[in-house]
Structure 1
Amino acid sequence: MLNEVVFFDTLRQGIWVALIISVPILTVALLAGVAIGLVQALTSIQEMTLTFVPKLAAIAAVFWVSMGFMTQTLVSFFHDRIIPLIIGG
């Protein structure tokens, strides 16, 4: 039987896993946005594609590199926490 303590602990761990998984992509998006914003401020170029395309490329590259880490983190969370709850353990 799933009581409140188990439910909230599983929810807390799920939010923590989501945070850990999203940190690499969000960090790169932040750094790319700041760098591109700085270049735009220094050169007075206000082109919208100048911010969008490099940031998208950086996010895609980091996603590609960290895909294995993200998958392993999610799989271990499901094996350690979710599947035992489904089975009833």
Structure 2
Amino acid sequence: MNEAVFFDVMRAGLWVAVTISMPMLVVALVAGLAIGLFQALTSIQEMTLTFVPKVAAMLAVFWISMGFMTQKLTAFFQFQLVPLIVGS
């Protein structure tokens, strides 16, 4: 395996990681901003108010997007990584 193929597989792997993590990160950002705005407007400074809804939203999105994540990882390993390993 030469360097170009190695870097191409690494780039594809990083792109898959970004694609898979994006739904959960976006939901965490939106939930954090909404909860922070709510806390600023109501002057409630409770630590569990920021943590519990954000984790619940992330778990819900993880549960919903699990199939998408599995498909992306399976496609990456099937069409990018396995042919390189078998061909070596």
What's the TM-score bracket when you normalise by the shorter of the two chains?
over 0.9
Distance in 2 of aligned mates of 1:50 and 1:21? 27
Structure 1 CA distance, aligned partners of 2:80 and 2:38?
A: 45
Measured in 2, the distance between the counterparts of 1:12 and 1:82 equals 12
Deviating above 6 A after TM superposition, structure 1's stretches of 4 or more consecutive aligned residues are none
2:25 maps to a residue whose letter is: L
- Counting only pairs closer than 5 Å after superposition, residues 1-89 of structure 1 correspond to structure 2 as 2-88=1-87
TM-score by length of 1: 0.97
Give the TM-score normalised by the residue count of structure 2.
0.98
Q: CA RMSD in A?
A: 0.8
Deviations 1:37-84 (A, max 9, x none): 000000000100000000000000000000000000000000001100
Q: Distance in 1 between matches of 2:44 and 2:11?
A: 44
CA–CA distance in structure 1, aligned partners of residues 23 and 17 of structure 2? 11
Gaps of 5+ in 2: none
Q: CA deviation at 1:33?
A: 0.1
Identity in percent:
68
Unaligned runs of 5+ in 1: none
Q: Distance in 2 between matches of 1:72 and 1:38?
A: 36
